[in-house]
Amino acid sequence: MAHVPESVELFVCESCQVTHAGTPIHVEAGQHTFEAPDACGSCGEADFVELSDWVHYHD
Ligand SMILES: [Zn+2]
C-alpha cells in the first residue's frame, strides 16, 4: 500500500533561493523524514535551509 506523506518538507537553496521538495526517507512504519537534495538543481550549490527556518534566517 502506497503511503503518501501528509506534508513535504521544503528546503531553500541559500545561494539562489530556489525551493526544493525534500526527499522522503522511510524511517519506520508510517514515518518519514525529509532530506535536502545533494545539490541545487539550479545553481549546483549544496547549502540548504529548511523552509521553516528560512523565515528566521532573514531576521
Ligand atoms: Zn541554488
- Domains of the chain: which residue ranges? 10-57
d(CA 44, CA 53): 21
Instruction: Please give the distance, rounded to the nearest whole angstrom, from the Cα atom of residue 20 to the centre of ligand 1.
Output: 9
Could you read off the pLDDT of 16-53 as tens digits, one per residue? 999 999 999 989 998 889 999 999 999 999 999 999 89
Instruction: Please give the distance, rounded to the nearest whole angstrom, from the Cα atom of residue 2 to the centre of ligand 1.
Output: 31
Q: Is the entire prediction scored with pTM above 0.85?
A: no
The answer for 58, left when phi > 0, alpha when psi is -120 to 50, beta otherwise, is alpha
32 vs 13: which has the higher pLDDT: 13
The answer for 46, left when phi > 0, alpha when psi is -120 to 50, beta otherwise, is alpha
Instruction: Please give the distance, rounded to the nearest whole angstrom, from the Cα atom of residue 48 to the centre of ligand 1.
Output: 8
The pLDDT confidence band at residue 58, using thresholds 50, 70 and 90, is low
Instruction: Please give the distance, rounded to the nearest whole angstrom, from the Cα atom of residue 21 to the centre of ligand 1.
Output: 13
d(CA 2, CA 16): 34
| 5, pLDDT greater than 60 | no
